[in-house]
């Protein structure tokens, strides 16, 4: 049994996870990141102790933590975590000093990919990638049954792969990032632009006439209804994701590609569009039928994935 912790911008959640991915119980506290690293660290310690208290004298084998930022290649330091205002925080050492149990860190999108690989949609695949499609686009890479974090800890940042000439400048400063085509933010950006240009669409009325209230779900629902603007935004999202997937096939040729995150709640409508568009873009069409699937784990994926970070590290 391991403890998994999901460190989010809003909440901290810790849970005791069994060897088959079952969540025995979980504890939650608000993150309140503005109170500073030391205070949040204290809350994480507190959550671990709450979980341990229910273990009736048993000890967890390890504590795994998923963080919304970049973890150093050696797994010891949170290098950068803008949502939490953390920079170069030695979280592994700091928490191990308090709880006397091995601590493992990883990026939250990576952790989601591990959860899917161990207990979800890509189970049994030694070579798997996952896209987490939300406000941004995150990723996870597993090669030969091991997680790939990269020498600077910035591997699997799929959102910043350049997949076109670009519509608007990404937060990272580049033009053409996948995140500016295939995130919820990108879908909303393009829909608003078309509305401002005066294109006829049902999206604005879905948002009660308030441009600022437009969200990705509305745009995707409009696409499902055959609305021209909705379809354009949806197609741009799916097609650029397909470019990214076909580029990943050219690099890694993985067994499976998992789509998760809020945007993936569009379900088979998204899946089928991405499968079709990717099949058209694959380099060796006669050899490769890429397997693209939806994530199957829901809200606990962060906890469950964090609990198994250790299993995916190189010895």
Residues in contact with a second copy by the rule CB under 8 A: 70, 79-80, 127, 139, 141, 143-144, 146, 148-165, 172, 174, 177, 243, 246-255, 281, 283-284, 287-288, 314
Q: What does each C-alpha distance from 28 to 10, 25, 92, 110, 125 come to in angstroms? A: 10, 10, 20, 21, 32
Paired tokens of 129? 């990638």
Written in H, E and C, the secondary structure of 274-308 is HHHHHHHHCCCCCCCCCCEEECCCCCCHHHHHHHC
Residue 114 Cβ vs a second copy, minimum distance, rounded to whole Å? 16
Residue 82 Cβ vs a second copy, minimum distance, rounded to whole Å? 12
Give the residue among 168, 234, 223 at the shortest CA–CA distance from 201: 223
Residue 93 Cβ vs a second copy, minimum distance, rounded to whole Å? 20
CB 220 within 8 A of CB 236: no
Separation of alpha carbons 62 and 2, rounded Å: 5
Closest to a second copy by CB, 218 or 243: 243
Closest to a second copy by CB, 28 or 289: 289
Residue 102 Cβ vs a second copy, minimum distance, rounded to whole Å? 21
Segment holding 142, helix H or strand E: strand 137-143
Closest to a second copy by CB, 203 or 274: 274
Closest to a second copy by CB, 79 or 304: 79
Residue 143 Cβ vs a second copy, minimum distance, rounded to whole Å? 5
Closest to a second copy by CB, 209 or 284: 284
Separation of alpha carbons 64 and 303, rounded Å: 8
Residue 203 Cβ vs a second copy, minimum distance, rounded to whole Å? 27
Q: What does each C-alpha distance from 120 to 250, 291, 293, 304 come to in angstroms? A: 25, 15, 11, 10
Give the residue among 97, 139, 87, 66 at the shortest CA–CA distance from 301: 66
Closest to a second copy by CB, 2 or 140: 140
């Amino acid at each position: 049994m391991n403890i998994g912790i999901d460190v989010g911008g809003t909440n901290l959640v810790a849970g005791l996870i069994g060897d088959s991915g079952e969540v025995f119980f979980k504890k939650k506290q608000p993150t309140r990141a503005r109170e500073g690293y030391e205070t949040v660290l204290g809350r994480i310690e507190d959550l671990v102790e709450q979980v341990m208290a229910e273990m009736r004298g048993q000890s967890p084998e390890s504590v795994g933590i998923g963080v919304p930022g970049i973890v150093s290649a050696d797994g010891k330091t949170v290098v950068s975590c803008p949502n939490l205002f953390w920079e170069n925080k030695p979280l592994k050492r700091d928490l191990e000093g308090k709880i006397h149990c091995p601590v493992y860190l990883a990026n939250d999108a990576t952790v989601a990919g591990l959860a899917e690989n161990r207990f979800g949609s890509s189970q049994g695949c030694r070579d798997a990638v996952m896209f987490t499609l939300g406000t941004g686009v995150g990723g996870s890479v597993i090669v030969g049954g091991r997680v790939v974090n990269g020498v600077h800890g910035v591997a699997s940042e799929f959102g910043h792969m350049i997949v076109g000439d670009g519509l608007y400048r990404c937060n990272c400063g580049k033009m053409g990032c996948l995140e500016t085509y295939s995130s919820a933010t990108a879908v909303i950006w393009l829909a608003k632009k078309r509305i401002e240009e005066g294109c006829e669409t049902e999206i604005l009325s879905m948002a009660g006439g308030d441009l600022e209230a437009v969200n990705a779900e509305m745009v995707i629902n409009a696409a499902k209804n055959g609305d021209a603007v909705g379809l354009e935004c949806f197609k741009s999202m799916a097609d650029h994701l397909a470019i990214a997937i076909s580029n990943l096939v050219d690099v890694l040729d993985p067994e499976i590609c998992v789509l998760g995150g809020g945007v993936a709640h569009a379900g088979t409508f998204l899946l089928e569009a991405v499968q079709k568009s990717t099949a058209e873009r694959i380099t060796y069409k006669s050899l490769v039928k890429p397997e693209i699937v939806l994530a199957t784990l829901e809200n606990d994926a962060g906890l469950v994935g964090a609990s198994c970070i250790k299993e995916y590290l190189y010895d």
